[in-house]
Amino acid sequence: MDALVNKRINRVIKGDQNAFAEIVELYQNQLYQICYRMLGNRHEAEDIAQEAFMRAYVNIHTFDQKRKFSTWLYRIATNLCIDRIRKKKPDYHLDAEVRGAEGLNMYSSIANDDELPEDELTRMEVQERVQYEISRLPDKYRAAIVLKYIEELPLAEISEILDLPLNTVKTRIHRGREALRKQLSNL
């Protein structure tokens, strides 16, 4: 797989645009999936996935062919997704600890403001509900959870995609799982 992809990359570097279309063909499903789960919106997912491919194309000569192409591509995409999510959010840092409340941060104090009423939740279809709950996760946990449980990638690869130490990735997955558990406690 890697050798095949690298062959196409070399053709792209030589100016063969069709070779890049083949690369898009190969990775479109996974990349779109990641973007959709991160953003929770088909239109935005398409936009960001295309943007990610476009950036990969423009910077293809910087890709180190000894590494895995998918890791590099997913990294571009998750960064774009996180940027997009942060742009949509209000300007305060949710991670910042609330004054005088040790261990509490803005996440806990906003206490899921956008939470839907329970009867509405129970009326949701399962698929809708899954996406809703993923979307409620803080972006840094969301990326780790999506890569781990939707894409089912090994932890080492997730740590490379997110450019974080392995232990940090583990912590984020643990916290993400714990946050989801609390969100789903009424299930």
Partner 1 sequence: MNTCPENIVQWMNDYLDGDIAPADETALKEHLESCSACRKHYQELSKTIAFVQSASHIQPPGDFVQATMARLPKERQRAGFQRWFRQHPLLTAAALFCILMSAMLFSSFNDEQQFAFTKQPNLVVEGETVVVPEGEVVTGDITVRNGDLRVEGELQGDVTIVNGKYMASSGVISGEVEEIDQAFEWLWYTIKNGVKDAASIFGSDNTETD
**Contacts with partner 1, residue ranges (CB under 8 A):** 13-15, 17, 20-21, 24-25, 28-29, 32-33, 36-37, 42, 45-46, 49-51, 53-54, 57-58, 61, 126-127, 130-131, 133-134, 145, 149-150, 155, 170, 173-174, 177-178, 180-181, 184-185, 187
Residue 176's contacts (CB-CB under 8 Å, 6 or more residues apart) are 137, 141, 142, 144, 145
Query: Which among 45, 35, 71 is positioned nearest to 56, based on CA atoms?
Result: 71
Least separation, in Å, of the C-beta of 53 and partner 1?
A: 5
Closer residue to partner 1, CB minimum distance, 68 or 175: 175
Least separation, in Å, of the C-beta of 147 and partner 1?
A: 12
d(CA 126, CA 184): 12
C-alpha distances (whole Å) from 119 to each of 115, 123, 161 are 12, 6, 38
Least separation, in Å, of the C-beta of 92 and partner 1?
A: 28
d(CA 10, CA 23): 12
What own/partner pairs with CB < 8 Å and gap ≥ 24 does 147-153 have? 147/34, 147/74, 147/78, 148/173, 150/33, 150/34, 150/37, 151/30, 151/33, 151/34, 151/74
End-to-end CA distance of the chain: 41
What's 115's DSSP letter?
Answer: P
Closer residue to partner 1, CB minimum distance, 64 or 91: 64
Least separation, in Å, of the C-beta of 93 and partner 1?
A: 26
Closer residue to partner 1, CB minimum distance, 76 or 145: 145
Closer residue to partner 1, CB minimum distance, 98 or 165: 165
Closer residue to partner 1, CB minimum distance, 75 or 177: 177
